[in-house]
Amino acid sequence: MASSQPSLVTVPQSSYAGLGRRIAAYLIDVLIAIALLFVVGFLMRGLRAAGVWTPAEVLDPAVAWREMAVPAKIAILVAFVVSMGPFCLAFFEASAWQASVGKRLLNIYVTDGAGRRLGLVRSLGRSFAKCFFNLFYLVLASVVTIAASAKKQALHDFAAKTLVMRGQPEPGGSLEPWQILAAFGIPFFWLVVTFVAVFQTVG
């Protein structure tokens, strides 16, 4: 007589993305974030050379920081967090790819605890949690939890209740143009506006 009890599906340990693959994907994403910063930097130099942007001359960054008002300092700190790539990660990992560029290249993707695609709000929360932990030098703790936990979860995975799996998601699909534009456009304009607003008055 067949049992009416539902069978439990066990996810093989090999299905979870391992530490080496995740670190490599992270480094690729960091390089992309740095490249975006360089683009912003070249743009600001171009605007300055053209006379469109005329920041005050400050030779010593420490002096500039001391002279900044509190709102300006907060704006710089927020811009620093934005430069770490949370918007880029969030829009890509909430897309049909379910993966950042680094994760996609390394053939891994992000899901919720039930294996479903993340919504944008949850993906943003996960990305900012990742930046928060990195900002406070807890990235090594994440390395330990990925290596030691049964489902290979980092601190931000525990916070957002997400998993990083090997392979590609089903049904998958392509990125939509608005997701690419938002992923790179939001941090780009955020950084440009911050630099223009803050460094126009310092000095």
Q: Judge whether 34 lies within some domain.
A: yes
Arithmetic mean of pLDDT, 129-154: 90
Output the pLDDT for position 197: 82
Question: Does 178 have pLDDT greater than 70?
Answer: yes
Rounded to 5°, the CA angle 193-196-202 comes to: 135
Average pLDDT of the chain is: 87
Q: What percent of the chain has pLDDT over 90?
A: 60
pLDDT of residue 45: 86
Please state whether the peptide bond connecting residue 171 to the residue before it is cis, i.e. omega within 30 degrees of 0: yes
What lies within 8 Å, CB to CB, of 65 at 6+ separation is 73
In 3D, which of 106, 119, 108, 90 has the Cα closest to residue 183? 90
56: in domain = no
- For residue 200, what pLDDT is reported? 66
Residue 116 confidence (pLDDT) above 60: yes
60 versus 156: the higher-pLDDT residue is: 156
Cβ atoms within 10 Å of 51's Cβ, excluding its own? 7
Place 158 in a pLDDT band, splitting at 50, 70 and 90. Answer: very high
In-domain check, residue 38: yes
Question: What is the pTM for the complete model shown?
Answer: 0.84
In a domain, 58, yes or no: no
Is residue 8 in a domain?
A: no
> Average pLDDT, stretch 29-45?
92
User: Is residue 6 assigned to a domain?
Assistant: no
User: What is the residue range of 41's domain?
Assistant: 16-48+65-199
Q: Is residue 74 part of a domain?
A: yes
* Residue 58: pLDDT band with limits 50, 70, 90: low
pLDDT in tens, 9-35: 456 666 999 999 999 999 999 999 999
Confidence grade of residue 56 (pLDDT, cut at 50, 70, 90)? low
Residue 7 confidence class, pLDDT cut points 50, 70, 90: very low
Does any domain span residue 60? no
Over 60: is that where the pLDDT of 3 sits? Answer: no
Count of domains observed in the chain: 1
